[in-house]
Structure 1
Amino acid sequence: MKAPTLLSVLLLAACAATPPENLVGTWQVQEADTAALPPQVKLELRADGRFITSGGCNNLVGQYRTSSGRLTFSDAASTLMACLDEQLTDTDARLGAAVGQARTYRISGTQMEWLDGNGKTVLKAQKTAP
């Protein structure tokens, strides 16, 4: 039996890392850490495994992976704009905390929830675009 080539191993890994189709898209974040967020707050989960948030004072970007209902974020970075609007600063903090706490997710129709390691909902969102 031949040993798998590096290319075939990389291709298999890439296929396994593809996020589920119903997760990919733009989501309006309705709630983070049980607090309602302004309607302009968006979360984009891209098919290439990258994410970006918008609608607060700063944007948060990074990588995400899913596997068997698990949700893992890495390489997160934020822009560092000064913001005098406390609501937008609070929105940024809540989104950052949700990314840091998310361990699993569940989707029902166009609704998504992220849950922490204890099963507590840390973010709720509704899909607005595929």
Structure 2
Amino acid sequence: MSTRIALAVLMLAATACTSPSAGQGANLRGKVYVSSSVTEQGQPRAMVEGTRVELRFTDDGRVIASAGCNQMQSPVKLDDGKLSVSDLAMTAMGCPKPELHQQDEWLSNLLRATPSWKLDGTNLVLTGSDTEIVFATEQPATLEGTWTVDGLVTRDAVSSVPAGVKATISFKNGTVAVDTGCNFNGSELPYELAGQTIKVELGPITDKGCGEVNEVETAVTEALGKGEATYKINRSSLILTNAEGTGLTLKK
């Protein structure tokens, strides 16, 4: 065999042993992807307002997925450009809208059907028989911006915000503004950061009766009204608590 032919054979063998799918699959581990576009039969698929598809690939070879309500997970294989789940389990939360349950089932069916996947630059593209989802890598959240209260923390328990109540906390250029539509009206107050501690003086507020909104306002006051609060950011979630562990969970 000539040297040139032998070299060609070796190059082909090396390519077969290190296929793009195998190498790229390893690169997915430890990353979180969020949908930037969803199409079905070539047309944009409308997602339930405020939701997106999330895929998280763990270091121990599992995929954790969500479409806005329940969470599903399974061991995952990424061989030959296919995403294969072997035992997809799903939580059984009562979603506030039937459309969210339908969206969960849609994503579950897509994952169970062994869709194709590829990396397009930093984006992940997942393709089923009539569905394509383009995912971008999730960027870490920062404290700056507007957060919506979605849970009330009392030591080790978290309860949901009463239905129909919306409260936000916004951090911008060294000021914080709380807006509940009642006694907190979005006034900007200065705050300081010291490590994971937020120092702020809420000052006096009105004492109007606003039904279930007042429950959220009490939690805000407990979290921030004592002058200091500890904050922790986990992906797109923020937890604010006082020294006793009482406070809020928030989402961006």
| TM-score bin, normalised by smaller chain | 0.5 to 0.7
- Does 1:87 pair with 2:99? yes
Q: For residue 115 of structure 2, what is the aligned residue in structure 1?
A: 103
Q: For residue 59 of structure 2, what is the aligned residue in structure 1?
A: 47
Tell me the CA shift for residue 61 of structure 1. Answer: 0.9
Q: For residue 60 of structure 1, what is the aligned residue in structure 2?
A: 72
Per-residue CA deviation, residues 46-92 of structure 1 (Å, 9 max, x unaligned), is 13211112352211011101123222111110001122313322321
CA distance in 2, matches of 1:53, 1:127: 14
Q: How many residues align?
A: 111
Relative to structure 1, is the Cα distance of residues 59 and 122 closer, same or farther in structure 2, using a 3 angstrom cutoff? Answer: same
CA distance in 1, matches of 2:101, 2:133: 17
Q: 1:35 aligns with which of 21, 45, 50?
A: 45
Tell me the CA shift for residue 41 of structure 1. Answer: 3.5
Q: For residue 123 of structure 1, what is the aligned residue in structure 2?
A: 133
Q: Gaps spanning 5+ residues in structure 2: where?
A: 1-21, 141-252
Q: Percent identity?
A: 25
Of stretches 29-38 and 67-76 in structure 1, the one that deviates more from structure 2 is: 29-38
Equivalent position SS for 2:87: strand
**Higher RCO structure (Cα 8 Å, ≥6 apart):** 1
Equivalent position SS for 2:86: strand
TM-score by length of 1: 0.68
